[in-house]
Structure 1
Amino acid sequence: MTKVTLNDVSRAAGVSRSTASLVLRGSARIPESTSERVRLAMAELGYVYNRHAANMRRSESMTLGLIVTDIRNPYFAGLTMSIEEAAHDAGYTLFVGYSRDDVERQYLQLETMVQQQVDGIFLLPATGSELNPICGIVDRSSVPVLQLARYFSDELDYVGPDNIAAGTQLARHVASLGASSAVLIGGPDQSSARTERIKGLEAGFAGRAVTFDVSRSATTTNNAAGGSEGIARVLDQGDWPDCIIAYSDAVALGIYAELRRRNLEPGRDVSVASFDDISLAELLLPPLTSVSTYPEIIGKKASEMLLSRIRDPSPQPQRSLIEPALKVRASTAQWRPRS
């Protein structure tokens, strides 16, 4: 009996072979009516799909790895969901690990994913990541690694927000309010994202009468606890800045809470601004001014780049920066300078 092939199925369904292949892999890009036609042709012809054999022919596992620092951060959660959706649409299964910003844990997760023969790895680098250990894994396995949101090397692909532009936009807005002082709170000290946001803020404040302080702001955590602890240190030293700039919206949540513990109202007694623009930002009271850095767009672009890298392992690293957008809300808009 002649074995039924995918070509037979595609001819019977009146679609291309690539369309039939996408239906088999569960791609959401194919209309349901077309998928139903392909499945019906498979049933009528008695076609049986051997996924293992197909993967062996392609020398692909149809799996991808993703390592992020902490899924409890809503920004990273949005990034993860975006990547998972793109991977699913392309017929891949996504393995997810959390480094908790620990380089040793991250290294072990990279090793494990390579041993599981993933076709590519998305990496939101832990603070203090170094190229040599990771390159050792990449060189041994030829598994491409793409950096997300943060980077530590120009020798690996990278997709993330234009943090310098984001900082510049936010600083210019704060200066336009008539603020004379601003302090940055939170963010891991060695993070490329924090370093670039500081560069942007300094550029935006340049030539304006705003004293900008970053010397007491770094924390090891990018969460509400870090925001609360960071602003408490500043206020305990007797400072009361016109504007508190949070490294991220997750940090801003802690800043809001600490200000209210001290009977200070965000947006009235002191203006508060932030980065990332997670969905919760506009639901806070007052709604939080934040620079949107679009995790969904970053996730989609990163997926496109990594899948392209898997098909074409050229040596030239690629870099893509996503343009940010300032979202002005009441946490700065309703603030007025102190007389």
Structure 2
Amino acid sequence: MAGGRVTVIDIAKAAGVSKSTVSLVLQGSPLVNEGTRVKVSAAMRELGYVYNRGAATLRQTGAKSKIIGVVVNDLTNSFFAELAVGVDMVVQSAGFVQFLSNTSESIDRQREVIASMREHGISGLIVSPARATEAADFKPLVAAGIPVVVAVRSLPGAKVSSIVSDNHEGTAAAVRHLASLGHRRISFLGGFPNTAVFAERLTGYRDAVVEVGLGFDDELIVSSAPSRAGGADAIARTMAMGNPPTAAVCFNDAVAFGVCDGLRARGMEPGRDFAVVGFDDVIEAQTAVPALTTISVDPQGMGRRAAQLLLKQINAGKVEAENVTAAVRLVVRESCGAAQRKSREELA
């Protein structure tokens, strides 16, 4: 298995059959008896062999694959839909087509869809990893020379390219803004603790509350699913505290929308009775009521940059890891209450 790649010859040796028999099994030929088929299939699974159907076709035609795989962890979050649009803008103009798949945070589903994409001969892969993904999960792709770009969630130790937002600075800017509005108890709501992006955003929040003189209170950290439902759950637990906060920095915009839902369910108006800041600046943030104050990441821009990183490797014909941290900026709208405070100051 030179270079870490499993070949048909390796499968044949492991199964005790000829190379041509393995090829017949891969082609689904009726000439192979069931016992031999089972034996060859077992050897393939044991050695981790992936039959690249697309590559087989391409070898016959002499063409090259024009498929880009895009795998995201939560397509119900509009951030990832916008990311995919950004990817498509770039790869389509370069003559490629993207295959998009959603894992719903399932590591098993992620492995299945990536294996399926490899079977169809993808030229490269852009992936926002599911929870519990490890650097080792991408070793087979690297060994096979398939370019990979990890987006949104970093994966320390993986020898692949990555593009992430400046998570630390984003939440820090949100905290500073809320503190400037007079808030003394600011919570951090939403997100799964076992992801690198959660750790980075929480660290930015923690550093900023200390910086502005508020001190860090672990009670104000309320994790939840990074979704609208998760945000509603997080604010429900937050408001049940003996000394609840008056503002929240949310893990992402989806959580922030859920927080607004949860506040209204309690007769509280976001921006008036409780300040809310999101993270991402998805399209709905500007048109929401109230319009969402958030940390702008530019999801489509991140998708375009991820695609550019991938195409650069594909065109170079070699895999060279390149890591990009995208700048973020605070966009002040209505949900943080800044406009209401300004109005009160003008009347005073």
Question: What TM-score does the superposition give when structure 2 sets the normalisation length?
Answer: 0.76
Q: Offset of 1:237 from its aligned partner?
A: 2.7
In 2, Cα distance between equivalents of 1:128 and 1:308: 28
Partner of 2:148: 145
In 2, Cα distance between equivalents of 1:197 and 1:313: 35
Aligned 8 A contact 1:114 1:143 in 2: no
Q: Offset of 1:210 from its aligned partner?
A: 2.2
Q: 1:145-189: CA deviations, max 9, x gaps?
A: 110011123421101211112122112111211111111111121
Aligned residues: 283
The runs of at least 4 consecutive aligned structure 1 residues that moved more than 3 Å come to: 52-58, 211-216, 313-316
Q: Does 1:324 align with 2:328?
A: yes
Closer/same/farther in 2, CA of residues 212 and 279 from structure 1, 3 Å limit = farther
Which one is further off, 244-253 or 206-215?
206-215
State the secondary structure of the residue aligned to 1:280. helix
Q: Which of 156, 162, 166 does residue 166 from structure 2 map onto?
A: 162
In 2, Cα distance between equivalents of 1:298 and 1:75: 10
Q: 1:69-94: CA deviations, max 9, x gaps?
A: 12111111100111112111110011
Q: Does 1:87 align with 2:91?
A: yes
Aligned 8 A contact 2:173 2:330 in 1: yes
Partner of 2:69: 65
In 2, Cα distance between equivalents of 1:114 and 1:242: 49
- Equivalent positions of 1:1-339 (< 5 A) are 57=62, 60-139=64-143, 141-154=144-157, 155-213=159-217, 216-219=221-224, 221-314=225-318, 316-332=320-336, 333-334=338-339
In 2, Cα distance between equivalents of 1:180 and 1:191: 28
In 1, Cα distance between equivalents of 2:124 and 2:239: 46
For 1:135, the aligned partner's letter is: K
In 2, Cα distance between equivalents of 1:191 and 1:212: 21
Which one is further off, 251-260 or 229-238?
229-238
State the secondary structure of the residue aligned to 2:222. coil
Any gaps of 5 or more consecutive residues in structure 2?
Answer: 1-56, 342-348
Q: Offset of 1:56 from its aligned partner?
A: 5.1
For 1:294, the aligned partner's letter is: D
For 2:254, the aligned partner's letter is: A
Q: 1:186-226: CA deviations, max 9, x gaps?
A: 1121222221111222222233232454554112x221100
Aligned 8 A contact 2:163 2:325 in 1: yes
Aligned 8 A contact 1:186 1:230 in 2: yes
Closer/same/farther in 2, CA of residues 143 and 235 from structure 1, 3 Å limit = same
Closer/same/farther in 2, CA of residues 92 and 304 from structure 1, 3 Å limit = same
Question: What TM-score does the superposition give when structure 1 sets the normalisation length?
Answer: 0.78
Q: Offset of 1:137 from its aligned partner?
A: 3.7
Identity, % of aligned positions: 28
In 1, Cα distance between equivalents of 2:251 and 2:153: 13
In 2, Cα distance between equivalents of 1:331 and 1:130: 37
In 2, Cα distance between equivalents of 1:148 and 1:97: 14
In 1, Cα distance between equivalents of 2:247 and 2:105: 29
In 1, Cα distance between equivalents of 2:316 and 2:323: 16
In 1, Cα distance between equivalents of 2:215 and 2:199: 18
In 2, Cα distance between equivalents of 1:178 and 1:218: 24
